Amino acid sequence: MSLLEVQGLHAHYGKSHILHGIDMTIPEASIVSLLGRNGSGRSTLMKSIMGLVQPSAGSVRLNGAELAGHRPYDICRRGIGYVPEERLVFPNLTVEQNLMMGVQKAQDGVHQWTMDEMYDYFPRLKERRAINAGYLSGGEQQMLTMCRSLLGNPRILLIDEPTEGLAPKIVEVVMEVILDIAKRGVAVMLVEQKLTIALKVASQVMVMGHGELVFQGTTEELAEAPEIRRNWLEVA
């Protein structure tokens, strides 16, 4: 069953036409990796779904309810969480205060995440729960942003470049958490530059180029499409 449906989605930055009629669906409890070179429109697609960039045309539906044109806080309350590449923690609030900022009551049928679960995922955050978030390392801020979004009890979590700049050991932990999130019924849409990581966790992959989706399929189907990898993913 499709959880998120996007149809004919267009988006602009001023006069620049960034997204050109995106059509896509994301099933419940799935992990979808959104691939493409820098500038292909992946982050803009996430921001358009989240309402941070208002679509100029098209539809975004969550469980059949239209979200296009809604404000980001309303989209969040309806069940979409967002972990931006910039992380955007509140630097003058403690780790625990940052986490409390994300807490919402879960909708019917949605897992109610707890603070203890966040600390089980990332014990380092528990150790530093009284420290202001501005003093955290990049990896710790990534952990914090993911947990803050989960405490909003989303049906789907959009994660933009979660492993950028992280040490390999932290990357492994973050990927394990993403897999566990999906097992608990939360769908994940993942923008990830590292192809091996993206393919390791995903059940489906989508490839973007020039603001359009140029491929949608399974990881196996992408492996059998060398022209897609050569034309849209590999760096010459």
Q: What is the mean pLDDT of the chain?
A: 94
d(CA 139, CA 123): 13
Spatial contact of 213 and 23, defined as CB atoms under 8 Å apart: yes
Kindly report, residue by residue over 52-81, the tens digit of the pLDDT: 999 999 999 999 999 999 999 999 999 999
The domain segmentation of the chain, as residue ranges, is 2-91+153-171+181-232
Using pLDDT thresholds of 50, 70 and 90, give the confidence band for residue 165: confident
Where residue 64 falls (left for φ over 0; alpha for ψ -120 to 50; beta otherwise) is left
Predicted confidence (pLDDT) at residue 236 exceeds the cutoff of 60: no
Predicted confidence (pLDDT) at residue 184 exceeds the cutoff of 90: yes
Of 11, 35, 38, 43, the residue nearest 160 (C-alpha): 43
d(CA 19, CA 167): 32
Kindly report, residue by residue over 12-35, the tens digit of the pLDDT: 999 999 999 999 999 999 999 999
Kindly report, residue by residue over 90-129, the tens digit of the pLDDT: 999 999 999 999 999 988 888 899 999 999 999 999 999 9
Is the pTM for the entire model greater than 0.75?
yes
Q: What is the pLDDT of residue 45?
A: 98
Question: What CATH number should be reported for the domain whose range is 2-91+153-171+181-232?
Answer: 3.40.50.300
d(CA 135, CA 170): 18
